[in-house]
Amino acid sequence: MRHQVPQWYRDAKLGILVRWGVPSVPAYAPSEHGGPLEMLRDHTGRFYFQNHPDAQWYLNSLRISESPVRRYHRRHYGEYTAYERLARRFNEELPLWDPTQWAEAFREAGARYVVMTAKHHDGFLLWPARATPVSPSFLAQRDVVGELATAVRALGMRYGVSYSGLLDWTVQPRPIRDFADWRLAKCPGDYPGYVEAHLTELIESTVADVLRIEGGLPAALPCKPLVQAYREAVPDGVANGCWRQTRSIERTIYGSPPGRRLLSSRIRAAAIAGSIGAGRAQGDVPVVEYPAPVTRRSGPWEYVRGLGRSFGFNAAEPASSYLSGVELIHLLVDVVSKNGNLLLSLAPAVDGSLCSEQRDALAILARWLATHGEAIYGTRPWRHSEGVTADGLPVRFTSRPDALYAVVLGRPRMLSIEFPDLDLDGVPRSDVTNEDDSFDVTVLGLEREIRWREEARSVVVDLPGSFVPAEAIVVRFAWRTASDRPASSFYTDLI
């Protein structure tokens, strides 16, 4: 399953995952209990699924009679309004969607790859699949997957698709009430063949740079031939997400009530720890969702989360629960410093628009990356990922073969930044440098030269009084060879 993670993926650092479909019509999930991590820490798995904070789980929550979603649906649509009615409403709104507008917004935000959800757990297909769903209303009337692929690639970004393999509520009528229900979900009849046909078609037609599996795959589906077919179609692709298959022996062990309780407890603990996607058979890179805190890994990995508490658009979610632009920048820097990519999930409304909280955060991130992107794209972790300034501000480090970047996550109280215990001998050096070369210390976004000095075991960088600190200040340390130094003159030396 594992293969060499391609260079383009390791350099990209920022991707966009799009969650859009029928759940965007009701756009509702309960939000009063906090986000996924808080709920898992404070409540049981059964409470979590009954009050699922992700609007994408609307259909599953609708099947739980005591859930807030069931009450919401009854009030707004009536007791007997089927989910298929919402699917028809989504198709009625679909002509308003502009894939080029999305692609332009994603590129402007700084994304280097985009992943579209082709099918989520509700079974609704966002492309004209040859293997059609049980109900014809569960099929989009436009090729959303294909149209977005054309728009994204026309702007020079990579493109991928995400597919729910194990869960499909069009063929699994019983709701997921706990984590054991998820892992042990039954795949009746010819459902494994249905999944295989979809993945084969997506591989052949989309040639996705990222093929992302969500939730796992049916145990009866041969996994290796699918991966091999993908490798042949896209040699530098990334088979990502959860490719896990629950074996028959695991079903036997966990099928009893004590076994189910044990399984649910283990999955819940892994979700809290951010390690639910770190095991074997999880694709080319480990994938984690909403973990805290972020931890460094020896190899590349991917952090997935929405700007808010829900992957899908939730109109009931308060504005305060969304990441601000500054928080988004700090998250991206933190993940990149620890060898990861940030796959940011965006949640469009039914008409394809983004709410103001998402737009504003993306605009702030875009402005920051326009000036500071060299500290993010194409970088690798340094020997230390984290540090702290003398006045207590967090610092994250990234590096290139010839430079070290210290990203200060906050605004310093004084017109200087002191980096305690920063070993300048550890700054990466290119092959052309030698022992007589000097340091070039710059602040990205600041055109004028700065003063800096070593004091005891610290490095102090002075900031000009006119400098207005950005959301995250980036100090670059790089060796400068004699040939790179500007010519000296009496006049310039006096100045």
- Taking residues 330-353, report their average pLDDT: 97
Which tens digits make up the pLDDT trace of 131-151?
A: 999 888 999 999 999 999 999
| pLDDT at 18 exceeding the cut of 60 | yes
Q: How far is CA 186 from CA 192, 358, 441, in A?
A: 10, 36, 59
Q: For residue 494, what pLDDT band results from cuts at 50, 70 and 90? A: very low
So what's the pLDDT on residue 486? 45
Residues 328-339 have pLDDT tens digits of 999 999 999 999
pLDDT at residue 489, rounded to an integer: 35
| pLDDT at residue 100 tops 70 | yes
pLDDT in tens, 163-215: 999 999 999 999 999 999 999 999 998 999 999 999 999 999 999 999 999 99
Average pLDDT value for residue range 261-284 = 75
pLDDT single digits (tens) 444-492:
999 888 999 998 889 999 998 878 777 899 999 998 765 554 443 333 3
**Average pLDDT of the chain to the nearest whole number:** 91
In sequence order, the 6+-apart residues with CB closer than 8 A to the CB of 293 are: none
Separation CA 288–CA 302 (nearest Å)? 6
380-485 CATH, one of 2.40.30.170, 3.90.1640.10, 2.60.40.1180, 3.50.50.60: 2.60.40.1180
| pLDDT tens for each residue of 397-449 | 999 999 999 999 999 988 899 999 898 888 887 765 555 567 899 999 998 88
pLDDT for the residue 289: 87
pLDDT of residue 163: 98
Q: What is the pLDDT of residue 474?
A: 97
| Per-residue pLDDT tens over the stretch 35-77 | 888 999 999 999 999 999 999 999 999 999 999 999 999 999 9
**CATH 3.20.20.80-classified regions of the chain:** 7-375
- Counting residues of the chain whose pLDDT is more than 90, the rounded percentage is 74
Which of 1-5, 32-36, 366-370, 410-414 bottoms out in mean pLDDT, i.e. has the lowest? 1-5
The whole-number pLDDT of residue 274 equals 67
For position 125, what pLDDT does the model report? 98
488 or 267: which leads in pLDDT: 267
Helices 356-372 and 325-337 cross at an angle (nearest 10°) of 50
May I ask the CATH architecture of the domain 7-375?
Answer: Alpha-Beta Barrel (3.20)
* Residue limits of CATH 2.60.40.1180 in the chain: 380-485
Instruction: Average the pLDDT over 242-263 and give the result.
Output: 87
